[in-house]
A and B are shown apart, each in its own frame.
Chain A
Amino acid sequence: MNSIKVRISRFDPKVDSTPHYQTYEVPFEPRMTVMDILDYIYENIDPTIAYHSHTSCHRRVCARCNVGINNKPGLSCHTEVTGDVTIDPLPRFKVIRDLVVEGL
């Protein structure tokens, strides 16, 4: 597997009426995490995506990088990816933008 398809929920409440998915193709590396994927997209494909990382610990402690990964909540810093993946904001939280939610 050389690359994977990553579907990310995009939503800016100031502009959009409903969230929509945007799909990115990301080179796959063994043992890569959801955070690695998000960083890759931000750095190389689309710097407009919003996901929590400005104070994240990357050590399974702060839990602020919690997102929905293929419909299951998980820490993006610690969840490894094995194939195509869909990333949503954590359900039942108010979305600030894309994957960033209030109150986490």
Chain B
Amino acid sequence: MSEVNSADVLVIGSGGAGLRAAIEACDQGARTILISNGATGKSGATMLAGADVTLDGGSAAKIGLPGNEEDSKEKFLHDIIVQGYYLNNQKLVESYVRDAAARTKELIDWGVKYVWDGKRALLTQGVELNRVLVEQTRKRRITITDDIYMTDLLTQGNTVVGAAGIDINHGEIRVFEAKAVVIATGGWQRAYSFTSAPGGMTGAMHGAALRAGASLVNMEMVTFCPNVILWPPALRGDIFPYILIEMFGDLLEKHGRPFLKDEYDPSIYRIATTTEWNKLIFSVAGTRVVLRGDGSPRGGTYYSIKTVPLNILEEAEKLYPGWRWLRTDFSPIMDWLKAGNAVEVAPAAHYMEGGILVDENAVTTLKGLYAAGECSGGLFGANRVASAITQILVQGAIAGKSAAEFSKVRKTVEPDTKQLDKIQARLLSPFTKENGLRPVEVKKRVKKIADEHLWVLRNGKGLKTAISELEAILFKDIPELSLKTAARAYNKEWLDVIEIESIVQVLLASARSALYRTESRGVHNRTDYPLTNNNTWLREIVTRNVKGKLTLTTRPVTITKLKPPKGKFSFEEGIIRAVKELGE
């Protein structure tokens, strides 16, 4: 084990939430270390974000954008909660709409390039956000440490006193002692084989938080981004067809029929192509097509622009000159489509509404531990509609401040050597096994479980299968994993072992929560419980590790502003009803 690094505030994660948390902690006077599992600015979900920053039009007008003074924070809050199916922690939504303008203004002051959409969104791009935030981070006395894969929290009783992980390039175990720790590591999309998220989004710190005794919330809630390219391989993972379908083109089943137009109420098609309900509607409709056997060879549907006249394409290209947007080049996709081909598309694991349980000050259930951004849960309830970029900025700043304040009244605690020995033994154990199970095989099995049973449409039978298979992997297979090379430097199998450990724990929390929630709500759709049940299920599911056992409890949704309606609704009824409530 190498030397121990010491910080007042340790920020784990170098996307927007981590960068903003580090900036805030440093500005509050804390000695801050920022850790990335890749290269800061070149890893994490922020880099791939579209991206927009959302705030209400009234607040936008107050910070000098040509906003809409009739819009307000109250209206924005209302819309987020209605579309979140009332599962949102309303205290978190209040912070979101309250701080959105300040965070947006500061981005503009820091020189972010953007286009204002005239309503509620500042359109920019993930790489551009990272550019600005990394620049601000580097201006400050913040220690940046790259390619460190954090795996564990160090605790003393109920208090977090640091964290540990491995140096990916050199293979050493690294230990950081800290008066406060902020987790800002995004979601766990890499539990699935098809995702729009980059590598590294494996829920390692969700797993660490669980093992340390923190609670997770709403883990059954996973947003899928529909119409993501599945094939051809060079374009795989690109979400551009998801954007294009708002303008033109058709989603086709295997006979070339546009299924959403053919099979749904015209109002659903209109809502899918003009509102933020697009993710949910397209994902559910496309998955229904695949499940009945009318999908494409690789398990998706098709997106085609064959019916779009050339001059319409030329007009659209004016929005994206040369089919480029800032630093992203969509022209290879357009070349493929314009040549008359369809791309195969499918929903991809995209955003996690659930995560580490926090309050409005980013405080978790463990002392000294804070969480911000997508790794935290509760803000967006059962369906995210507003920007996750605003989320990471707002919550990052809050977490940085809370952690810095806490660190001022704390002393550094030396890590418990017994705890460190245990962590080291666990992390290094795959090196000591011979002829065990191959990590890549087990990883494939884990992803298959997620793909089959924790996908867009779920059911009780599948979830029970998932739970028993995941438990077997956790207790029987993981201890048997072994590596083919003893090289510690960039050992891919070793990284796979670490990923499998956290992914299995997080998937178990997700599957158990999904089985427990005997209804459909937002992005959680159960074919055996198709109705949204506001009479009994306006409750959050909380998962926690008690003496090595995953334990589930529920708590009523936190309501401060907007009272949910009573009743039960089907998928289509729920959407049509909510759209009326939004006055669209």
Contacts and interface: CB of A to CB of B under 8 A. Distances in A.
Contact of A43 (B38, B44, B47, B440): B440
Contacts of A33: 233-234
A85 interface: no
B198 A57 contact: yes
Given A56-B198, A64-B38, A47 B168 contact: no
A92 interface: no
A61 B492 contact: no
Interface string A49-79: 1111111111111111000000000000111
A61 B48 CA distance: 7
Given A33-B234, A53-B199, A54-B38, A62 B490 contact: no
A96 B487 contact: no
Interface residues of A, number: 38
A79 B234 CA distance: 7
Among A46, A49, A56, max chain B CB count under 10 A is at A56
Contacts of A25: none
B438 A61 contact: no
Say what secondary structure dominates the interface of chain B. Answer: loop
A62 B47 contact: yes
Contact of B440 (A36, A42, A51, A58): A42
Contact of B329 (A52, A55, A60): A60
Contacts of B492: 42, 47, 49-51, 53-54
Among A33, A43, A55, A96, max chain B CB count under 10 A is at A55
A9 to B, nearest CB: 14
B487 A14 contact: yes
Contact of B127 (A12, A54, A61): A61
Contacts of B487: 12, 14-15, 48, 50, 97
A12 B113 CA distance: 43
Contact of B495 (A14, A36, A43, A54): A54
Contact of A62 (B38, B168, B236, B485): B38
Contact of A97 (B44, B444, B490, B493): B490
Contacts of B39: 55, 62, 64, 104
B56 to A, nearest CB: 30
Contacts of A54: 37-38, 149, 168, 199-200, 492, 495
Interface string B418-439: 0000000000000000000011
Among A42, A52, A57, A80, max chain B CB count under 10 A is at A57
For the complex of A and B, the 6 pairs showing the least CB-CB separation, nearest first, are A55-B38, A55-B43, A55-B200, A48-B485, A57-B198, A50-B490
Interface of A: 12, 14-15, 31-33, 36, 42-43, 46-64, 77-80, 96-98, 100, 102, 104
9 contacts: A50-B489, A53-B492, A54-B37, A57-B43, A57-B47, A59-B48, A61-B127, A78-B234, A96-B170
